[in-house]
Chain A
């Protein structure tokens, strides 16, 4: 059974048009992460939540925002997508031993 679910799997948006990506987890863990992964690169952490406590990485652009309305759900909002924001966006949470489990990702295309 999927532990981390991401929707949609593929998202196409226009330059400057806001977009929201969603993530849900069934592990009921209080930590969730959002990563950005560009082609041929390792995942890069954007931010993480501990419960509702939001922790932004120092180099995450202001264009990226996040919401976590409850333990299970987390959203990534890109306020004004640029061509450089085209990437795979990965959501993750923790298992019983603090191992990270990732969702299948949302591949974002910006036209």
Chain B
């Protein structure tokens, strides 16, 4: 099956810092999504981004499908950005079935 690798596994940031999270995937995919899981366990869909670049406030994402990677940028980080960030790719010929990466645990300190 398709492999999804995220890096780094853990990240500690001081409030206000910028960071980049990476997701590599091993095969062609229908789409790619980034999620944020908050400390209460809620998974929030950040971006649906099979290719190209999208921005939403302080967050932006870029997917280069031909090179099989995606990047999530967090700018001017805030303590509310803490949590786990998951990258997930849709398996081809499936009903939206997602293969998740292991996640990046982000802690933003005041």
Contact = CB atoms under 8 A, between A and B. Distances in A.
Interface stretch (A11-19, A60-68, A74-82, A93-101): A93-101
Contact of B100 (A33, A42, A55): A42
Interface residues of B, number: 22
Interface stretch (B37-45, B57-65, B66-74): B37-45
B95 A48 contact: yes
B7 interface: no
A50 B48 CA distance: 21
Contact of B33 (A31, A48, A99): A99
- Consensus secondary structure, chain A interface: strand
Interface in B63-110: 86, 88, 90, 95-98, 100-103
Interface string B32-57: 01010000111111001000000000
A25 to B, nearest CB: 14
15 contacts: A42-B101, A43-B86, A45-B97, A55-B95, A90-B43, A92-B43, A94-B96, A99-B33, A100-B96, A102-B35, A102-B42, A102-B45, A105-B41, A105-B43, A107-B41
Interface of A: 31, 33, 37, 41-43, 45, 48, 50, 55, 88, 90, 92, 94-95, 97-102, 104-105, 107
Interface of B: 30-31, 33, 35, 40-45, 48, 86, 88, 90, 95-98, 100-103
The 3 closest A-B pairs by CB, nearest first: A42-B100, A99-B48, A102-B43
